[in-house]
Amino acid sequence: MDLLQKRIDEIYQECLEYTDEGRVADYIPELSRVDKYQLGFYAVGAEFDEYYIGAYDVKFTIQSVAKVLIFICAILDNSTAKVLSKVTVEPTSSSFNSIVNLELENENRPLNPFINSGAIVCTSLLKGTTSEDRVQQIISLMKRMCDNQDITYNESVYLSEKKTGARNRSLAYYMSSTGVLEGDVEDILDAYFKICAIEVTCKDLAQISYVLAQDGYNENTGEQVFSKFLANRVRSVMALCGMYDGSGEFAVEVGLPSKSGVGGGIMSISTKHGGMGIGVFGPSLDKKGNSVAGVMFLKRLSQELSLSIF
Ligand code: DON
């Protein structure tokens, strides 16, 4: 057996016990039904071929990992300057759904596109007249980045979050009051909730992050999906802000541009060894909303293969 696959199997076995730590994201009722003991991994790369283990083909909702795609799409639909006039790219030490910085810092603009307020603003910049148009923009970008042409969103997770999304509504209405968020607030939130409920597998995330690792180029289709310049910017923001207020420790321990979601997914990019895209899934989360076993898996993998960009 391939040595790397053997090591990945061992890391998987070592990390399984960490699925017992943490909790699933029960603030979205539908997510509280997910089995917390799952762990999946998929990696695709130039020199590495494909490696996978565990729950690599289990579907889960993308949640905040989609914030990377919303950011890319908002820039493609507008311009970098327009997006950066609404949201900056500064890390935060507050939680992903924090409201406090909107009033105290940064002239009412969200600190970065990967916290809820920032992603809601970026969603408002997506082209489209209905929430469904905006969701389809994200889904079609995803289809250009991975093999899965059946991507869709999970209706019950979407409805569950829409029903209980008081915090996101607070953020959005606050930003509407300061003028940072323009447009129909409920419609923008509806698009945001649907986008968070898009279903993916570790394989989908690995392929999407591999396009980011390849500077926006999809090797399978031969398409330059977006520019090298944009890919570089997005990877930078992922490295600084992708794990919320856990981004600093993650940079030290793992050192890979990454983005997590409360569905338990993490999408990571390695630019070493010709580039690698990684998707992990472990729905049991730490207090900051990052997958406990997923982070542990990435830490071991990165340290063993010297993947850290730092
Ligand atoms: O808006 C929310 O709260 C969720 N739909 C997404 C948050 C999230 O994934 C944060 N992740 N770690």
Q: Which residues, in sequence order, are CB contacts of 164 under 8 Å at separation 6+? A: 27, 28, 29
Instruction: Give the DSSP per-residue string, 236-272.
Output: HHHHHHTTGGGHHHHHHHT---EEE-TTSEEEEEE-S
Query: So what's the pLDDT on residue 143?
Result: 98
pLDDT digits (tens, 9 = 90+) for 141-195: 999 999 999 999 999 999 999 999 999 999 999 999 999 999 999 999 999 999 9
Q: Which of 44, 52, 56, 67 is catalytic?
A: 67
Token pair 């042409």 is found at: 149
Residues 50, 5 contacting (CB under 8 angstroms): no
* Strands, sheet with 40-45, edge to edge from the N-terminal-most edge strand: 49-54, 40-45, 276-281, 265-270, 258-260
How many angstroms separate the Cα of 39 from the Cα of each of 151, 264, 265, 301?
21, 9, 10, 15
Mean pLDDT of 74-94: 96
Nearest CA to ligand 1 atom 4: 63
pLDDT number for residue 48: 62
3-state secondary structure of 124: helix
* Choice among 9-13, 100-104, 116-120, 137-141 with the minimum mean pLDDT: 100-104
Ligand 1 binding pocket, CB closer than 6 Å: 63-64, 96-97, 116, 161, 168, 196, 260-262, 289
Residue 56 is among the residues annotated as catalytic for this protein: no
CA of 64 to the centre of ligand 1 (A): 5
| Ligand 1 atom closest to 97 (CA) | 3
27 is catalytic: no
H or E segment and range at residue 176: helix 166-178
Please state, rounded to an integer, the average pLDDT across all residues of the chain: 96
What percent of the chain clears pLDDT 70, i.e. is strictly above it?
A: 99
Q: Which of 28-37, 73-82, 98-107, 192-201 has the lowest mean pLDDT?
A: 98-107
- The residue among 62, 60, 171, 54 whose CA lies nearest residue 124 is 171
pLDDT recorded at residue 1: 53
Query: By C-alpha distance, which of 239, 268, 267, 292 is closest to 60?
Result: 267
Strand pairing partners for 16?
A: none
Q: What pLDDT, on the 0 to 100 scale, is given for residue 254?
A: 98
pLDDT reported for residue 2: 84
DSSP state for residue 127 in the 8-state scheme: S
Among 18, 56, 158, 192, the one annotated catalytic:
192
Ligand 1 centroid–CA 294 distance in Å is: 16
Q: Indicate if 135 belongs to the active site.
A: no
Q: Is 7 buried (19+), middle (13-18) or exposed (0-12) by CB count in 10 A?
A: middle
Q: From the alpha carbon of 168, which atom of ligand 1 is closest?
A: 1
* C-alpha radius of gyration, the chain, whole number: 18
* Gap from CA of 262 to ligand 1 centroid (Å): 5
Query: Which residue in 34, 83, 135, 262 is the catalytic one?
Result: 262
Say whether pTM exceeds 0.85: yes
State which amino acid sits at residue 112: N
Atom number, ligand 1, closest to the C-alpha of residue 96: 10
Mean pLDDT of 42-71: 94
